[in-house]
Structure 1
Amino acid sequence: MRNTNNRSIEMTIGCLLTKLRLGVSNKVLKTLFSFSSDRLVAQINDRAYKALLKFFLPQHLGFQHKSRNDIINNHTRPLAKNLLANGEDVPMLILDGTYIYCQKSANNVLQRRLFSLHKNRPLLKPMIICATDGYIISEIGLYLSDWYNNDAAITKHILLNNKEEVQDWLVEKDIMIVDRGFRGCLDLVNSFGYTTFMPLFLPKSKKQFSTSEANNNRFVTVLRWV
């Protein structure tokens, strides 16, 4: 992307970010940025989007933009190593699904698959994977928010389809920290040789956790709080 007579690079990025943040029409953007037509605004946003995908995202998001050693040395807290890895240098990934709210679709089938019974509104679900210091390593998705695409199902899809070549990045005994919503995929994750940490469920036969079980739950919770 380069400067032209119609717009500069800064104006192009600013126009796209304004569109994403405010959700205003191209007619409003034409007035705000003094462009000549709505069609020109659409072309500018399209070029900015493609430029960001090609040049910006590969350097700042995805498993291939950071090496394992970089994550271990610069983005893994000493507290996490001491609590869950006995001080060893291994990557620790925190997985959690989040939400991007969207408008109600006019397509009835899509409308049903976008509607979340949990949040009671239409939304899309990306899977966020970050380090223990909060550094976002990757965002995989978007996924529909129907009953099929819970956190466990999304994780299975990522691993079985080797999204972003995640299987090539991970090695055995790497640690994944998750919440109870991932309980349905733990067997699959462990079958690949990865170590998982999730807060325990209290059995019906017990009234409270033992001291070690309660402490392990606290370890997982304090590390997930990033």
Structure 2
Amino acid sequence: MSEVCVPLYIGSQAFQRHDIIHNHSPEWVKMLLPNAVAMIDSTYVYVQKSWNFNNQKKSYCQHKADNLVKMMPIMLLDGKWFDIYGPYFSDGYNKDELIWNTLSDDKVEDYEKKDLFAHSQQLHAIFSKNYMFIGDRGFARCKGKWSLFTPDSICKGETQLSTVKANQTRCITRVRNAIERGFGRLKQWNVIGSVVNTDFIPVIGSIMRILCAVDNAYFSNLVLDNNDTLEHAQYTIRNIQLENEVVHMEANTTGWKKANTSDISSIITSYDENDVKQCNGEYSVRIAHAYLGHIQQEWSTYIHPDFPSTVKIKNIISRYKTTDNPKQHTVWIRFGHNKLDDIASYCTCKSGLRTAGGTCSHVTAALIALIHWKNNKKIPSFYTTASALFFNVLDCTTYKKSKMKQASEEYYGASSDTES
């Protein structure tokens, strides 16, 4: 199967340069990210511990705190797998950046194994120098033949991405989402979805290539190419250079007064959750529902007489903080006249200055909450099952806090006795 079937669906025999550009590159993706031809990322296959101590150390990943081997696939812009390389060890010498540098380097003398050079030769034969690949932040420092589109990170001393960086990052993540969904589809195969016996490590690479070939042959494309996606991309391009006005006006103004549901009902335009999904994407809506089920009862709404079409919502707690005093975000939403087509928003989160490609998940959560509050409806809990699955899991947090408090009181009590 590896020699007969697989080459028909993945690899340089299945995809030629002209074919990739004209048949596997959706127009809306080329509009958002010119010169991009494919996406790269690594995925993990968990394996049992090896009895060879050297291999055990090399296959231990500190990031995942487990033994695994890494695979490096390349996905075309329409969601088809071009090829998959590996397996690689998962220690510090086999980070995503170094693996890609190995694949993008064409110097023969730098390769100890012929397989590494063969993989590199295949890529250089298909992809020309002016092409660009799309990766995550792990590839930001890669140096090789090809340039990469990678999401921006916050610079030292900053708290937010600039509007331009936030918009560009949104374009990248919107396209790159396909490879993450592709990994999810591959992991549904039990052979790699669980811990793999070490006896199968010699054939993991072949198994992964077979699964990618089957995925290309029998499953639908992960990336749609239709009028709706093209119109959304055009709308994103029109807004990509816009400055965020809300941060300079509403967010920079004091005098906001606390409001109840009746006060904000007249401000909220008529829209439904499908409009929110169309504006921000399905994944953003799923994250938003998780926020709504998180700590919605602590949210507070505000209005301002100088901004009659804007609603301010405070105390949206970040999901990344687990401390007793977690970070809280505030959002401002300025409604227009045509559902969500002409809204403007600002959030204090990292991506809150975004003006293109939809809003951040905090604003999305606020939009969903507002339409339910306007209609006096209870916000449905989409993740009750996820919560219920942990109903019998014990938590020692309260015990630990009481002990820490007791120890602190004893310490300060002893200190005061000593001073007196």
If the length of structure 1 is used for normalisation, what is the TM-score? 0.69
Deviates further, 208-217 or 66-75: 66-75
Query: What are the residue-to-residue correspondences of 1:8-87 with 2, within 5 Å?
Result: 52-85=1-34
Q: Which amino acid aligns with 2:71?
A: P
Give 5+ residue unaligned stretches, structure 1: 1-51
Where does 1:102-121 land on structure 2 (aligned, <5 Å)?
A: 102-121=47-66
Residue identity in the other structure for 1:130: M
> How many Å separate the matches in 1 of 2:86 and 2:23?
26
Q: Which residue of 2 aligns with 1:93?
A: 38
2:159 aligned residue: 207
Q: How many residues align?
A: 166
Matches within 5 A, 1:182-221: 182-185=139-142, 188-189=143-144, 192=145, 194-221=146-173
- 1:121-141 per-position Cα deviation (integer Å, ceiling 9, x unaligned): 211101010012211001011
> Unpaired segments of 5 or more residues in structure 2?
106-116, 179-420
Q: Does 1:176 align with 2:176?
A: no
Question: C-alpha displacement at 1:76, in angstroms?
Answer: 1.3
Q: Is the 8 A contact 1:71 1:131 kept in 2?
A: yes
Aligned-residue identity in percent: 33
Alpha-carbon distance in 2 for matches of 1:162, 1:107: 28
Amino acid at match of 2:154: L
Largest Rg, 1 or 2: 2
- The 8 Å contact of residues 153 and 161 in structure 2, kept in 1 or not, is answered as no
Matches within 5 A, 1:133-172: 133-160=78-105, 161=117, 163=119, 164-172=121-129
CA distance in 2, matches of 1:169, 1:199: 25
Shift of 1:156: 1.1
Cα pair 1:127 1:139 within 8 Å, conserved: yes
What is the aligned-residue RMSD (CA, Å)? 1.6
Shift of 1:207: 2.5
- With the length of structure 2 as denominator, give the TM-score of the two structures: 0.38
Residue 57 of structure 1: CA displacement? 2.0
Distance 2:172 2:88 in 1: 26
The amino acid of 1:132's aligned partner reads L
